[in-house]
């Protein structure tokens, strides 16, 4: 049985909005944490609440073992969302590894009759273009070098031995999970899907991201924004506005949808 404490362990609400009608559920990248999305909370209109997923093995869950497989991770998040007493309409957003976790979670939610209104995937090739990898087999220096290359982790954190000892086990586990992940390429969502990538993202090219078209039976919208793999850091307002527009929700007046 899912308890409130187990729901709370998976879902973070940096700016609670009890009267909100929609939850924007955000899934972090490999090695990422719920706090990555905290700045987005103030960019949302009052009727949308940010709900960020916290994977085990990092930040306030650092004492828990990281999840080893995609099935285990998506099953747990879907269970927490189904049991969430807020009971709101859901929009899912995931970046990089989080894109695959969001899609797998959405499939499970639809299978139990609690499907989301919309899914937005970012910086990740479509399921039919998932490629295996060996980053998780590298030593700590090699793993840190990969994080530096992608640019999603502050270099000073990777230079601190104590921080590295806390950070890298979860990073390695996430890379193992996503590099050994084998999606069901015949699976299809029933809700609309938007796929976004940066125009200089070598990890998820425009052509690879367009493959998400086959991951839904509903409307599909591709979008390319300026930047590399972590384009969404510098363009948080634009990304949030685009997510809201894709889902038919108006952006706040202070943060109009950008062309």
Strand order in the sheet with 118-122: 11-12, 48-53, 22-27, 89-95, 118-122, 193-198, 220-225
Sequence-ordered alpha helix ranges (H) in the chain: 4-10, 70-83, 97-111, 140-150, 155-159, 161-179, 206-210, 231-234, 236-246
Report the alpha-carbon distance of residue 160 to residue 62 in Å, rounded: 17
Is residue 165 part of the annotated active site? The answer reads no
Least Cα distance to 246 among 224, 214, 221, 226 occurs for 221
Element spanning 62, H or E:
none
Partners of residue 25 on adjacent β-strands: 51, 92
**Given 23, 96, 100, 122, which residue is catalytic?**
96
Report the alpha-carbon distance of residue 257 to residue 237 in Å, rounded: 9
Query: Which pair of structure tokens corresponds to residue 18?
Result: 């009890």
Would you please indicate which residues are annotated as catalytic (active-site) residues? 96
């Amino acid at each position: 049985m899912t308890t409130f404490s187990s729901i709370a362990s998976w879902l973070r609400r940096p700016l609670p909005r009890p009267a909100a009608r929609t939850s924007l559920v955000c899934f972090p990248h490999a090695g990422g944490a719920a706090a990555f999305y905290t700045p987005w909370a103030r960019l949302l209109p009052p009727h949308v609440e940010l709900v960020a997923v916290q994977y085990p093995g990092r930040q306030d869950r650092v004492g828990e073992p990281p999840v080893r497989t995609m099935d285990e991770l998506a099953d747990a998040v879907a269970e927490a969302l189904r049991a969430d007493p807020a009971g709101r309409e859901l929009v899912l957003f995931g970046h990089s590894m989080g894109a695959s976790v969001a899609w797998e979670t959405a499939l499970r939610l639809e299978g139990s009759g609690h499907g989301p209104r919309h899914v937005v995937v970012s910086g990740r090739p479509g399921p039919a273009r998932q490629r295996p990898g060996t980053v998780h087999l590298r030593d700590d220096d090699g793993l840190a070098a990969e994080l530096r290359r992608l640019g999603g982790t502050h270099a000073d954190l990777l230079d601190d031995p104590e921080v590295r000892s806390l950070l890298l086990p979860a990073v390695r586990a996430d890379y193992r999970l996503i590099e050994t992940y084998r999606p069901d390429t015949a699976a299809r969502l029933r809700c609309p899907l938007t796929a976004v990538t940066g125009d200089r993202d070598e990890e998820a090219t425009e052509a690879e991201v367009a493959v998400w078209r086959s991951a839904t039976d509903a409307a599909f919208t591709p979008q390319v924004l300026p930047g590399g793999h972590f384009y969404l850091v510098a363009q948080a307002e634009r990304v949030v506005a685009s997510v809201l527009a894709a889902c038919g929700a108006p952006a706040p007046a202070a943060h109009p949808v950008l062309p």
